[in-house]
Each structure stands twice: as structure tokens, then as C-alpha cells.
């Protein structure tokens, strides 16, 4: 292919892509490949001789990309949606085109300068002293958490005492934390799960009591993981109280802010994370509430010396890459040596939209979730299980006169019927042994009409399921 043909094919793909984007609000939420489609994909062989690129593009669009959950759909409320802004996509395309390798300053000085500037800007939002803090962009919260927890382990334990190290999480902590601790060499039996209170925040009295018991056993408590926006409920653990406990017992405080740290960019709600400045480290996903394409996460550590001590290696074949004068070889402060410039798309978005628009979009998610609550409170038999917190709300249909098992079945089936209708993506979770419906509303293109119609459909499905259940009993 020559350059003219390549540009022609790229223009063709862009035309196809934008046609789909324009029709997104009226399209299905979820399309799962059935057995015949999977068989079709399996039968695509790796050819000895290449094929025409347009043929491959069409095949990918029709047979691969079309079968997905549209996490950018304005009525996809499951998990944490991915409403990536088009400016992030543009930044991603440009970065892939230039194929930057960003482990060292020498071979990516321009990009590394932007990474350093973004880390300092985000650190300032956290409340860190930017002359002392450090961070780097990683694939997401899982990698950010393991990077931070390895740093915590090396700071608070010696190799001889790794087996004695104890970590403290809540019953709402994300599963990536336990995975990260296991990879870091912390035995599952030394990961303490602290209960949460009625607002799904870590129980501080139980936390401190458990730490004291572990010290008496001869163990070495070393880290507490606080959540800034749990996946289930959007709840925020009590930052000041946890930091006080950490200070008292000389523990590392890590905040999993993969979802909720983005509230720091809100002009009116950033105070919700007061106390986060006391954390020793923080994970933060830009591909969640900062409207980035996958994958774009960041880990920030309060004291740069801790990261260097955990990850810096200087093999002889990299000796020409050494830098000073405050410059950073990012391959020395994290696990990846070969690493892409994930942050340039975030830079593109921030430069294009500006922080006022980012703040507006974040706050819109909070306001639209409060509208969900308002609508539910106006309907019979609906129960709010967790009030709106960081644009997440949990609720269930719970009419009187039927058993808890029947209530559980109804709510499971409400979710299934909604997904089958392909109008909205609403899934279930479990809170305090109750099956509940959960909505995460962070897409700024979700309209009040979308919310109103979604709640109306939920109520319609619920009433029909209840009617069928009563009919069966009779």
C-alpha cells in the first residue's frame, strides 16, 4: 500500500466510525456474539498471503467490534461506564501513530515533560508537595494499586518480615487490591477485611481494634487501603480518621481512588475528598471519570524516594539513558520498561475541553444521579439502598407481602428484562445480602429524558413481574 491508499482507507474507517457514533443513542446497549458468530470468527485463519485492508477493516467492524457492550452509550449504567470523549480518541490515534517509547527521558523528552507536568498538576489537586511527590501513568487501577502497594511493602517491611505483614481493607474494597497484595507476597490470611458501616464506609473502631490484636500476635501491620469511591456504592472512607490511625501505628495509607479521585477536579464537590492529602499513595483512573479511552491510569506517591527504592534498576545497557536536573526516567519508578505515552490523550482532552468543562461534566453526573433518586422516591414499592454518592445509586423493588427470596428474584429479573430490551444497561450487585439494582451515571450525554424513561421501564418490568408472581401463587 502507498500513502495515498492508506489515507483513503483511514478516511473510510473514520466515516464508518462516526456514522456509528452519530447513531449511538438509538442503538442497542449490548450485543453478544452467539455460537454461529463465534464459529465464524474462529474460522478466520491467519493467511499466508495478505488480504486487502478494506476487506479486513469491514470484517473487523462487522464481526468483531459490533459485538460488545457499548460502555459509551448514554444509557449504559452498569459497572463504571466508559464515556470517552472524542478528543481522547484523537490523542490516542496520534500517540499510536508516533509509537512513542516512554521509559526514558532521552528517547521521549517531549512526552516525558508532559507526563511530569500532568503528574505535578494531579498531585497538586491531591494536596501533595509537588517538589517531593512523584507518579507515573499506568494501564489502570489494578496496575496503579500494585505499584503503590509494592512501594508500601518495601517502605514498611524488610524481605525477612514480608510474611508477617498485614494489610487492612474494607468489605467494599475493590478486588484488585487483594490481587495486588497477593502478588506483592502478602499472604491472603494476613489481609484483614474490616466491616463497613451503614453508609458503606470502613468501620474505624473495628479497624483499630484489629490492628492492636495483630500487634499482640507478633504480626506487622503495614498498610491501610482507603477507598475514594467504592465500585458498589461510590462511598468514601473517612480519610482523616484513617490517616490518624496510620500516624498512630506508623502504617502506610494508600487510597484507591481509581473511580472517585476525579471528583478532585470538580469545582463544587472536591471537598468530598478532604483528608486525601494525608495519604502516602493514590491510584486514579482517567479512563473512568476523566473521559479517556482505555487504558489510562495513574499512581502518585507522596515521597519520590520510596518509588525509586522499589523499582529503580540500572543495567549496563541502559547506562547512556541516565539523567539528572530533576528529570525522570519513568521506567525507574514503576514496573514497566516498555511503556506507551498513555497520558498524551488526557493532555489532548484537557487542552481541548479545559478544566471548567471537565468539572461541569463530573458535576452533571452527580446531579443526574440525584434525579434518579427523586424519580424513585415518587414511585410505590421502590427502596433506596444506598443514596447517591459520586454518581452511583443502589435501589431495589421491594413490595410488601412477598418473601426476601421473591424480592431477590424480581430484582434479578428486572435487570435481565432491561438488558433484553436493549434500552438501558442496568446490572445487579449485592449489599448487606440484598440483591439490588445499581446505576452509575457518569456520561454527560445522558439526558433527563433517558433517566425518566429508564426508571419508567424498570417500574413497568417490576409491576409485571410482581403480577406474574401473584398469579402463579393464586
pLDDT tens per residue across span 326-383: 788 898 889 999 999 999 999 999 999 999 999 999 999 999 999 999 999 999 999 9
pLDDT digit string, tens, across residues 278-287: 999 999 999 9
Residue 313 is predicted with a pLDDT of 73
Given a cut of 60, is residue 320 above it in pLDDT? Answer: no
358-374 in b/e form (b: 16+ CB < 10 A) is bbebbbbbbebbebbee
Residue 391 is predicted with a pLDDT of 98
| Alpha-helical regions (H) of 294-354 | 304-311, 343-353
| Residues facing residue 299 across a β-bridge | 136, 283
Q: Which fold has domain 100-352?
A: 3.40.640
**Cell matching residue 119:** 503528574
Crossing angle for the helix pair 204-216 and 239-249, to the nearest 10 degrees: 20
Domain borders along the chain are 3-67, 100-352, 356-473
Measured in whole angstroms, the distance separating CA 217 from the mean position of its chain's CA atoms is: 36
Residue 379 is predicted with a pLDDT of 98
Given a cut of 70, is residue 16 above it in pLDDT? Answer: yes
Residue 244 is predicted with a pLDDT of 98
Residue 321 is predicted with a pLDDT of 40
Alpha-carbon distance of 202 to 289, in angstroms, equals 23
**Cell matching residue 349:** 482532552
For 172-194, what is the mean pLDDT? 97
Given a cut of 90, is residue 445 above it in pLDDT? Answer: yes
Residue 173 is predicted with a pLDDT of 98
Q: How confident is the model at residue 473 (pLDDT cuts 50, 70, 90)?
A: low
Residue 471 is predicted with a pLDDT of 72
Residue 229 · residue 169 · CB < 8 Å: no
The CATH label, of 3.40.50.300, 3.30.930.10, 3.30.360.10, 3.90.1150.170, for the domain at 356-473 is 3.90.1150.170
Residue 314 is predicted with a pLDDT of 64
Q: In what side-by-side order are the strands of the sheet with 427-431?
A: 382-389, 392-397, 434-440, 427-431
Q: Which residue has the cell 502507498?
A: 2
Q: Which of 116-125, 323-332, 405-414, 460-469 has the lowest mean pLDDT?
A: 323-332
- What are the residues whose beta carbons fall under 8 Å from the beta carbon of 222, sequence distance 6 or more? 152, 153, 156, 157, 165, 166, 167, 251, 252
**Cell matching residue 411:** 430484582
For 113-140, what is the mean pLDDT? 97
In 3-state terms the chain splits into helix, strand, coil percentages (rounded to 5) of 50, 15, 35
Given a cut of 60, is residue 317 above it in pLDDT? Answer: no
pTM of this structure: 0.95
Residue 328 · residue 174 · CB < 8 Å: no
CA angle 255, 124, 231 (to 5 degrees): 30
Residue 254 · residue 152 · CB < 8 Å: yes
Residue 311 is predicted with a pLDDT of 85
- What are the residues whose beta carbons fall under 8 Å from the beta carbon of 385, sequence distance 6 or more? 394, 395, 396, 431, 432, 434, 436
Given a cut of 70, is residue 107 above it in pLDDT? Answer: yes
Residue 324 is predicted with a pLDDT of 60
Residues in the chain: 474
404-433 in b/e form (b: 16+ CB < 10 A) is eebbbebbebbbebbbeeebbbbbbbebee
Q: Which of 73-82, 309-318, 436-445 has the lowest mean pLDDT?
A: 309-318
Measured in whole angstroms, the distance separating CA 441 from the mean position of its chain's CA atoms is: 14
Residue 109 is predicted with a pLDDT of 95
Alpha-carbon distance of 468 to 474, in angstroms, equals 10
| Residues facing residue 382 across a β-bridge | 397
Residue 305 is predicted with a pLDDT of 85
Given a cut of 90, is residue 251 above it in pLDDT? Answer: yes
pLDDT digit string, tens, across residues 203-248: 999 999 999 999 999 999 999 999 999 999 999 999 999 999 999 9
Residue 306 is predicted with a pLDDT of 84
Beta strands in 73-160 (DSSP E): 134-138
Q: Is 144 exposed, middle or buried (0-12, 13-18, 19+ CB in 10 A)?
A: buried
Given a cut of 80, is residue 26 above it in pLDDT? Answer: yes
| Residues facing residue 137 across a β-bridge | 298
For 137-163, what is the mean pLDDT? 97
Residue 51 is predicted with a pLDDT of 96
Q: How confident is the model at residue 308 (pLDDT cuts 50, 70, 90)?
A: confident
User: Based on C-alpha coordinates, what's the Rg of the chain?
Assistant: 24
DSSP 3-state assignment of 210? helix
Amino acid at each position: 500500500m502507498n500513502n495515498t491508499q492508506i489515507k483513503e482507507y483511514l478516511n473510510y474507517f473514520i466515516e464508518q466510525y462516526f456514522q456509528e457514533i452519530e447513531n449511538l443513542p438509538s442503538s442497542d446497549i449490548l450485543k453478544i456474539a452467539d455460537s454461529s458468530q463465534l464459529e465464524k470468527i474462529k474460522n478466520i485463519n491467519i493467511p499466508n498471503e495478505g488480504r486487502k485492508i478494506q476487506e479486513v477493516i469491514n470484517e473487523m467492524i462487522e464481526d468483531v467490534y459490533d459485538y460488545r457492550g457499548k460502555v459509551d452509550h448514554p444509557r449504559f449504567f452498569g459497572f463504571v461506564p466508559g464515556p470517552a470523549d472524542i478528543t481522547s480518541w484523537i490523542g490516542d490515534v496520534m500517540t499510536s501513530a508516533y509509537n512513542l517509547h516512554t521509559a526514558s527521558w532521552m528517547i521521549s523528552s517531549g512526552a516525558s515533560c508532559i507526563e511530569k507536568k500532568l503528574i505535578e498538576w494531579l498531585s497538586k489537586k491531591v494536596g501533595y508537595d509537588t517538589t517531593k511527590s512523584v507518579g507515573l501513568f499506568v494501564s489502570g487501577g489494578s496496575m496503579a494499586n500494585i505499584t503503590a502497594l509494592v512501594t508500601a511493602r518495601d517502605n514498611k517491611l524488610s524481605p525477612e518480615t514480608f510474611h508477617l505483614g498485614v494489610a487492612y481493607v474494607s468489605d467494599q474494597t475493590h478486588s484488585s487490591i487483594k490481587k495486588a497484595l497477593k502478588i506483592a507476597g502478602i499472604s491472603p490470611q494476613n489481609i484483614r477485611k474490616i466491616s463497613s458501616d451503614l453508609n458503606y464506609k470502613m468501620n474505624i473502631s473495628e479497624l483499630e481494634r484489629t490492628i492492636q490484636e495483630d500487634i499482640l500476635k507478633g504480626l506487622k501491620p503495614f498498610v491501610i487501603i482507603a477507598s475514594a469511591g467504592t465500585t458498589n456504592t461510590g462511598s468514601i472512607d473517612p480519610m482523616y480518621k484513617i490517616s490518624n490511625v496510620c500516624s498512630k501505628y506508623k502504617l502506610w495509607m494508600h487510597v484507591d481512588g481509581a473511580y472517585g479521585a476525579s471528583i478532585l477536579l470538580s469545582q463544587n464537590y472536591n471537598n468530598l475528598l478532604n483528608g486525601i492529602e494525608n495519604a502516602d499513595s493514590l491510584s486514579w483512573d482517567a479512563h473512568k471519570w476523566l473521559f479517556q479511552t482505555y487504558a489510562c491510569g495513574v499512581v502518585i506517591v507522596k515521597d519520590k524516594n520510596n518509588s525509586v527504592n522499589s523499582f529503580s534498576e540500572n543495567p549496563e545497557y541502559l547506562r547512556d539513558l541516565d539523567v539528572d536536573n530533576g528529570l525522570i526516567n519513568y521506567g525507574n519508578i514503576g514496573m514497566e520498561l516498555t511503556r506507551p505515552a498513555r497520558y498524551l490523550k488526557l493532555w489532548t482532552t484537557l487542552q481541548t475541553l479545559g478544566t471548567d468543562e471537565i468539572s461541569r461534566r463530573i458535576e452533571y453526573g452527580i446531579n443526574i444521579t440525584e434525579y434518579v433518586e427523586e424519580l424513585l422516591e415518587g414511585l410505590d414499592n421502590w427502596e433506596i439502598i444506598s443514596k447517591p454518592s459520586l454518581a452511583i445509586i443502589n435501589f431495589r423493588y421491594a413490595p410488601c407481602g412477598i418473601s426476601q427470596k421473591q424480592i431477590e428474584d424480581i430484582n434479578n429479573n428486572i435487570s435481565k428484562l432491561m438488558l433484553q430490551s436493549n434500552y438501558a444497561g442496568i446490572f445487579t450487585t449485592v449489599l448487606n445480602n440484598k440483591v439490588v439494582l445499581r446505576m452509575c451515571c457518569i456520561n454527560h450525554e445522558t439526558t433527563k429524558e433517558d433517566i425518566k424513561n429508564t426508571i419508567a421501564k424498570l417500574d413497568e418490568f417490576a409491576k409485571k413481574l410482581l403480577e406474574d408472581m401473584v398469579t402463579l401463587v393464586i
